[in-house]
Structure 1
Amino acid sequence: MGISISHGSQGEERRSGLSIQQLGQHLAHVLTARDWNQVRHLFDGSFGGDLDIEPTHAGRIADILRAAAEHHLMPEGWAREADLFANAARRASRAGEPWTWR
């Protein structure tokens, strides 16, 4: 199943549910339990529908994903993916728009 995420570098980013879940496995490994619990619903493979994330919450998610991308244990390719998601969340937050997942 493909998932479209708004506010990507070229408009929308599209990723498979499996690749998002694989990113989640890496996020779970490098994030604190508190931070993981704030993003788990997006990356643990249970996402199953449309979601609009409020701009302030998208900003918090951006900070969490950026920290994960910069973590020394995050593999380079997955760090780039986490950074891409962080940038999209930050764009939505700065624009004052919902960050949408469809």
Structure 2
Amino acid sequence: MGRNISHGTNPDGEIRRSYTTIGNLADQVAHVLPAADWRRLQPILKHGSGDPFDVPPHLAASTAALLRKAADHRLMPDDWAEEARELAAAADQAAGRGEMWSWR
């Protein structure tokens, strides 16, 4: 099981990642960001249930900025940086269109 995240690059316009991958990315992001930044991302990356949720455009924009900040950190491993950048691009696209960023 996993998440289908809107505004991605696959043929269905999604990013598909397992819960484990999202959880591991969250751990990496938490390791490199200041606590205040991590607290802003935590509700999205460590969403408490498998229930679908939507992120409003303004929050998607700030999420994208924080994911890029984490991706650019010198301690972020390259493979996890790539994952963070892909999510940031999807969040930016949703925000730019004024659409909800959907996690299903």
With normalisation by structure 2, the TM-score equals 0.93
CA deviations over 1:5-44 (Å, ceiling 9, x no partner): 0001231010000000000010000011111111112223
Q: How does 1:10-29 map to 2 (within 5 A)?
A: 10=10, 11-29=13-31
SS at 1:8 equivalent: coil
Task: Name the structure 1 match of 2:44.
Answer: 42
Task: Specify which of 52, 74, 77 is matched with residue 79 of structure 2.
Answer: 77
Per-residue deviation, 1:46:
2.5
Structure 2: how far apart are the matches of 1:68 and 1:44? 16
**Judging changes above 3 Å, is the alpha-carbon distance between structure 1 residues 59 and 45 closer, same or farther for their aligned structure 2 residues?**
closer
Structure 1: how far apart are the matches of 2:9 and 2:59? 20
Task: Name the structure 2 match of 1:8.
Answer: 8
Structure 1: how far apart are the matches of 2:49 and 2:91? 17
Task: Name the structure 2 match of 1:68.
Answer: 70
SS at 2:75 equivalent: coil
Q: List alignment gaps of at least 5 residues for structure 1.
A: none
With normalisation by structure 1, the TM-score equals 0.95
The total of aligned residue pairs comes to 102
RMSD across aligned positions (CA)? 1.1
Q: List alignment gaps of at least 5 residues for structure 2.
A: none
Structure 2: how far apart are the matches of 1:45 and 1:95? 24
Structure 2: how far apart are the matches of 1:40 and 1:47? 13
Judge which range, 22-31 or 39-48, deviates more: 39-48
Per-residue deviation, 1:48:
2.2
Letter in 2 for 1:27: V
